Amino acid sequence: MFWVLLIAILILSGWAQYQVSHQFRKYSQAPNRRYMTGAQAAEAVLRANGVSGVSIGRCSGHLSDHYDPRDNTIYLSESVYDSPTIAAVGVASHEAGHACQYAAQYFPIRVRSAIIPACRFGSYFSYILIVIGMVLYSQSWFGLGVLLFSLTTLFQLITLPVEFDASRRALATIEGTGMLYEDEYPGARKVLRAAALTYVAALLMSLLYLLRYLLIFLNMSRSSD
């Protein structure tokens, strides 16, 4: 059953990655008729939501766009910052949506920010402890590794509403302010929906491995009785 589910999730993950690349490439070749760049779109979302003091800068890489709360800056890649395309408006608006979340003290993003240090620790040490537990057949070490691994699953679980809400804020602002024409709006929505699917696939993969580790842990408990 594990391998069946693993293959299914891998297929979903591959499909999600394909959709992200395909939709972004497709709508990156579709200029919006308002000739609004990604940077201008991010500014428009911030302005429409009454958020000020957020900087907008450039970053290298492909689809590396992100909002960094540490310096309160939205970083847009070269294919988004200066590009007056439907895809650029969608991606930049999504990142501005994250800035709006922080400004509004959106609860899930506050929780996610609070657990980031613990999740990084868990991500780094969980596999080490799981391997040690399996090699030594130690339920204690293995259980500690599973506990740390569960933190990364929790992080991905909390990430889903954060990402969905950022896209919701972005699309609502795009539609409400007329940043894109009516026939252009579905393109931005497709780009953001494809990106959201990757987070769903990542969570399902993490949940599957967590379930597997829990079952191994329970088998260790039975063996030790």
Backbone φ, ψ for residue 138 (5° rounding)? -105, 115
Helix 139-177 crosses helix 38-48 at what angle (to 10 degrees)? 90
Distance of alpha carbon 192 from alpha carbon 198, whole angstroms: 10
Position of tokens 């999740």?
Answer: 119
Of 68, 98, 64, the C-alpha closest to 79 is 64
Distance of alpha carbon 160 from alpha carbon 133, whole angstroms: 31
Distance of alpha carbon 173 from alpha carbon 179, whole angstroms: 8
Of 91, 27, 10, 15, the C-alpha closest to 56 is 91
Query: Does residue 43 have an active-site annotation?
Result: no
Q: Which amino acid is at 191?
A: V
Distance of alpha carbon 74 from alpha carbon 202, whole angstroms: 24
Options 78, 95, 163, 182, the catalytic residue: 95
Give the catalytic positions in this structure.
95
